[in-house]
Amino acid sequence: MAKTKTIFVCSECGYESPKWLGKCPACNAWNTFYEEKEQKAVTLDGKVKQAAKPKALNSVEGKEAIRMKTGYQELDRVLGGGLVKGSLVLVGGEPGIGKSTLILQLCNKLSSDGKVLYVSGEESAEQVKLRADRLSISSDNIMFLGETNIDAIDNEITNMNPKLVVIDSIQTMYSNEITSAPGTVSQVREITARIMRVCKANQITTIIIGHVTKDGNIAGPRVLEHMVDTVLYIEGERYFSYRIVRTVKNRFGSTNEVGMFEMQNEGMCEVTNPSSILISEGSDKYSGSVIICTIEGTRPLLVEVQALTTMSVYGIPKRTANGIDFNRLALLIAVLEKRSNLSLGNQDVYLNVVSGMRITEPAVDLGVALVVASSFKNISIPKDIAVIGEVGLTGEIRSVNLIDKRLKEIERLGFKRCLIPENNKKLLKDTYNLDIIGVRNINDALKAVGIK
């Protein structure tokens, strides 16, 4: 590929400029321009791309995507039904979250139907073998290649023509045609483009593992996520065993699905019924505990939220929130003080979401408000009741989405009663074996659970 001239590319948005700029005019980011060589556009077979001509969309013959089942229902759910043949999947996550473990287990599942090439630029064959032994993986179809030169990797992929290729990680690979160091913007873009050309030309499914920055984004240029077909993030707290696989981008399916796994000694094990493990087996005699129903993607999850209020020994009360936004907790405390006349100004408030889950949707507001009031009044909330609802600043309970899915999950897990917004109750179409209580404001909700 002939080199023509030098250009400068923004690592955040991919904006190109003939000269270096301190501030990107497209995304307004500072100090994000990196130098790289402009190259001719090429096709999947490596030839110079000819000018395309328009044609009628109706004349194009569409083909249904061929999918490969991964052997994990949770992963198939996230991918939209399985891995699409010839697709390029980018997997990101923090160090130690379980990326390499999950992908190696996936290689073992898919190796029964053909050869799998595992390319690692970070670990030796002995290190990967130790992990495989720990995971009880033994397959003659898993081929390991410890290489970082894209030319050697390209040749091996072409000669072997495997069913699946794994690149661990994209930031360690380099090309001799680029003078910059591995992991830079130009190197990552070139390596990804080379892998995409050879794998799509031969219909080889490829999984790329990427590092993440301290902000949680995949390291390298932002356009890397635009080049691939699917982007998956593995999330979870380091000191908790549960992991959530979330789709950020998916050209072949929905981006509203999540899968849940648990890190165990034998590897990543899928959790098919996450609600049952996110609820502790407590008793009614303890105050400051409630079951709420949240939505992760399109999946309803029942989670336990706990609160503790104590008299503050200092002049300024302390507020601690683990699992929800701190500012949201402060807002709900203010609503309780103003609309329900609860004197929380001299109380330290500690809130915790059980099992290390992090919840961001507003439908958990009512549960948080009730559990704080429960601890403050020292009155327990019955264990057979679940709570759903968003709380407004005036104390009203606002309606939430996907109420039918939430109620079906609550009913399936054996709850007897459910607190929901009155507007949602009016629009219910199905009947449930639940005592559904509609509430209009925070005071109605407190009375419904026996706190006020």
Q: Name which of 43-47, 233-237, 276-280, 400-404 the model is least confident about.
A: 43-47
> Whole-prediction pTM value?
0.76
- What are the phi and psi torsion angles at 308 (to 5°)? -140, 125
| Residue 444 parent element (H or E) | helix 442-448
Q: How far apart are CA 209 and CA 169, in angstroms?
A: 5
Q: How far apart are CA 2 and CA 277, in angstroms?
A: 58
Kindly give the pairing relationship between strand 88-93 and strand 205-210: parallel
Summarize pLDDT for 331-389 with one digit per residue, the tens.
999 999 999 999 999 999 999 998 778 888 999 999 999 999 999 999 999 988 999 99
Task: Decide if 381 contacts 283 (C-beta within 8 A).
Answer: no
Amino acid 326: pLDDT: 95
Whether residue 100 has pLDDT greater than 50: yes
CA torsion through residues 112, 113, 119, 122, sign: negative
Amino acid 220: pLDDT: 56
SS3 category, 185: helix
322-330: long-range pairs with CB below 8 Å, 24+: 322/351, 322/352, 322/353, 323/351, 323/352, 323/353, 323/356, 323/357, 323/358, 323/359, 324/351, 324/353, 324/358, 324/359, 324/360, 324/364, 324/368, 325/360, 328/362, 328/365, 328/368, 329/368
Could you confirm whether domain 66-270 is CATH 3.40.50.1370? no
Summarize pLDDT for 251-268 with one digit per residue, the tens.
988 887 888 898 888 889
Tokens encoding 151: 């030319």
Summarize pLDDT for 46-63 with one digit per residue, the tens.
555 556 678 888 887 767
CA angle 208, 212, 213 (to 5 degrees): 150
Tokens encoding 318: 């302390």
Task: Dump strand ranges (E) for 136-222.
Answer: 142-145, 164-168, 205-210
* Domain covering 276-448 in this structure, CATH number: 3.30.230.10
SS3 category, 268: strand
User: Any idea where the domains of the chain sit in the sequence?
Assistant: 1-42, 66-270, 276-448
Q: Alpha-carbon Rg of the chain, whole angstroms? A: 26
Amino acid 17: pLDDT: 87
Task: Decide if 328 contacts 368 (C-beta within 8 A).
Answer: yes
Whether residue 44 has pLDDT greater than 70: no
Task: Decide if 31 contacts 20 (C-beta within 8 A).
Answer: no
Write the burial class of residue 269 (CB in 10 Å: 0-12 exposed, 13-18 middle, 19+ buried): middle
